[in-house]
Structure 1
């Protein structure tokens, strides 16, 4: 995912976070990749000065208060915020990986097993949110980040307390994403119930498995009509037949006809176990297939350093992403040009990995529109451990193998390109790669 450099008008620091680049933007604000003084990466959301008024600050303060109350292993955590600042800002956990919309657009839909694993993970995450008295209200593929430790849910800007009658939404105004919105929300009914998130999760899983939402139309008015019309059934074309009963139930027109989230988890588990796998095995397969280890942070954090005596300084280089083709005019993937030199220093001792994690310049959380890579063949070949392509995980204990990574998601570099661990963020990235290399060669 593209990370755009800062513009001359962008701040270089906000709330103690050093801003490194732009990772998203919208009508209300801008999202930056930031770094705390201790080296913790963060997604820093800032409201545009041109739209800051009393109601905007009130909405933003409500979002901050909601983020303070929501927690969970699959929820991107709030790190810090100041809704009274000028401009108002908040910082959340930065998740390295594509969102579900970008991943499916670039690499095609997930198979039934991976979709069931995604469903069990997200249903459990939403159940945790509901236990805290909250509804997400805007779950969609772009709000599901596929990080190196599994999927995470973001953007609780529309979340409300389930029992609260207080709302900052104007009368007769519907807020949300129509393609994933249940009929009662589209009709403006109140109060909403946890069934709205069950419907939205069904729409997300349908998109993951088929590449399209439940309803499609040329204009927003026709789309709303399809959503609220009980005679118009969701389009499940392209979805695996074993998922059809669950998706049909989750996308039921009436809220009372949809299953509870605990039942969604149970049915997803049944689909996984029917293929002879445990849920944990399916989760590892999903993460192995969707996670995209990134190295763009190395470039953003790089600084000019004097060459050590007797050493030969040289311009840092990367092997370009095979799916992206040769970068034009000497430009590196992701839009960065090498403008500095660094001394080569010996890397710390490490065991030789059997599989080197691929590199991918596309990062997560970004909403900056960039062309998605073409779909790639996901079929896994039958090879020995020594013949496995880079990025393919080791076989499970039952002898099966996770799906291969799509072709062209990255290529390995030489050991001469290893850099010194001069920064805590780089140290974490290197440690993460070592763990992946170890995990790829270990049957667990």
Structure 2
């Protein structure tokens, strides 16, 4: 997703982070691309003034405290926050790349071995989260960012401490994303266990490998009915045979029938090794493949074929899946009020169309936007952002041509 200029209502900075542009928004807040005084890029999430109330502050403060306890190379890192500010804000590591949903919708499903690599990587990351006594509860393709250093998990806004019965949610309501929600979570059972994240990961991997979810319907209540029906089998159409046994077990209706996350890692490794690769090689190919499909030329001119890893490209499907209609997109909801959504944290794919993008090798001036006499002129993205992008693309070219 491209940045858009700040509006007159946007603050120029928050907590010492200079705000450079908008990178997304939701029903509860706005997400900005920010930069620290030392040049560290950040995704700065701010609650909208109209949404700031006691319950929102409590939930936001809970998200901040949870993020402070989570660490790991596959987790977008917590940077800073102020839940007591007039406009509560939260800054996390900025991951430059699309989310998994956008990647699959644009480029089609991942090849089987790369989907297995994604599974091993995410299962290992979630296992570390569980060891810290937490559950994610809202894992979905939109919460998996495909950055230049591999996939990362974001948005722990619905995370809870394992085996906890404490919740800020009103009685008889369920919060989460129906398309990736485990049956026991959809049924409102408490306490929840790590098996809910195993199920959600199975739904994510199914989408990554096929472009569809276990259960799909135009009506969100129909999806809930399918998820909670013990006789309804998940749709595994199009799933490569080597992944079918694992994902079928991860999507089991009974929580105790699902494998543990360490077992998921080992079974993904077995798929990778049966395909003739080592797990580290598969991870490098996954990153190379997702980065190469995102790559755009630095200079204007005819677009050249993206330098995709040869072995990964040979496995890729030739026909990308058709994106879902907007009304069937998986959204985090509060049931029985589907209109209330929990804001996903969007990401920025690139800044080529944003101020400061390269054309003919030189930064172009920022087009002026209409403003009042008292309004400051629109600011352009700092050159450090473009420098980082150029360096990233050079790394991508090298990685794509490396012999793994």
TM-score (norm 1): 0.74
Task: Look up the match of 2:281.
Answer: 281
Distance 1:63 1:71 in 2: 14
The CA deviation at 1:424 is 3.8
Deviations 1:394-431 (A, max 9, x none): x6xxxx46559999x999x99961669x8444443333
CA contact (8 A) 1:104 1:110 kept: yes
The CA deviation at 1:6 is 1.6
Distance 1:222 1:321 in 2: 46
| Greater relative CO, 1 or 2 (CA 8 Å, sep 6+) | 2
The CA deviation at 1:155 is 0.2
Task: Look up the match of 1:391.
Answer: 307
Deviations 1:344-396 (A, max 9, x none): xxxxxxxxxxxxxx8xxxxxxxxxxxxxxxxxxxxxxxxxxxxxx44234x6x
The CA deviation at 1:36 is 1.0
CA contact (8 A) 1:18 1:34 kept: yes
Q: Structure 1 250/404 Cα, relative in aligned 2: closer, same or farther at 3 Å?
A: closer
SS in 2 for 1:234: coil
Q: Structure 1 233/440 Cα, relative in aligned 2: closer, same or farther at 3 Å?
A: closer
The CA deviation at 1:166 is 1.9
The CA deviation at 1:292 is 5.8
Distance 1:206 1:19 in 2: 37
The CA deviation at 1:318 is 4.7
Structure 2 unaligned blocks of 5 or more: 320-348, 365-381
Q: Structure 1 321/144 Cα, relative in aligned 2: closer, same or farther at 3 Å?
A: farther
Structure 1 unaligned blocks of 5 or more: 297-316, 323-357, 359-388
The CA deviation at 1:51 is 1.0
CA contact (8 A) 2:64 2:81 kept: yes
Distance 1:403 1:47 in 2: 45
Task: Look up the match of 1:319.
Answer: 300
Task: Look up the match of 1:264.
Answer: 264
Task: Look up the match of 1:376.
Answer: none
Distance 1:83 1:423 in 2: 31
Task: Look up the match of 1:138.
Answer: 138
Residue 4 in structure 1 maps to residue 9 in structure 2? no
Task: Look up the match of 2:361.
Answer: 417
Task: Look up the match of 1:428.
Answer: 388
Deviations 1:81-110 (A, max 9, x none): 000111000000010111010011011111
Q: Structure 1 242/404 Cα, relative in aligned 2: closer, same or farther at 3 Å?
A: closer
Moved more, 252-261 or 18-27: 18-27
TM-score (norm 2): 0.81
Distance 2:32 2:24 in 1: 7
Count of aligned pairs between the two proteins? 351
CA contact (8 A) 2:299 2:360 kept: no
The CA deviation at 1:294 is 7.9
Task: Look up the match of 2:71.
Answer: 71
Match runs of 1:79-90 below 5 Å: 79-90=79-90
The CA deviation at 1:24 is 1.2
Distance 1:218 1:295 in 2: 33
CA contact (8 A) 1:97 1:292 kept: no
Larger radius of gyration: 1
Distance 2:183 2:312 in 1: 41
Q: Structure 1 90/269 Cα, relative in aligned 2: closer, same or farther at 3 Å?
A: same
Distance 1:221 1:193 in 2: 24
Residue 55 in structure 1 maps to residue 15 in structure 2? no
The CA deviation at 1:163 is 3.0
Distance 1:176 1:49 in 2: 24
Deviations 1:210-249 (A, max 9, x none): 1111001121211111000000010011111211111110
Distance 1:221 1:392 in 2: 41
Deviations 1:187-231 (A, max 9, x none): 100000000000000000001111111001121211111000000
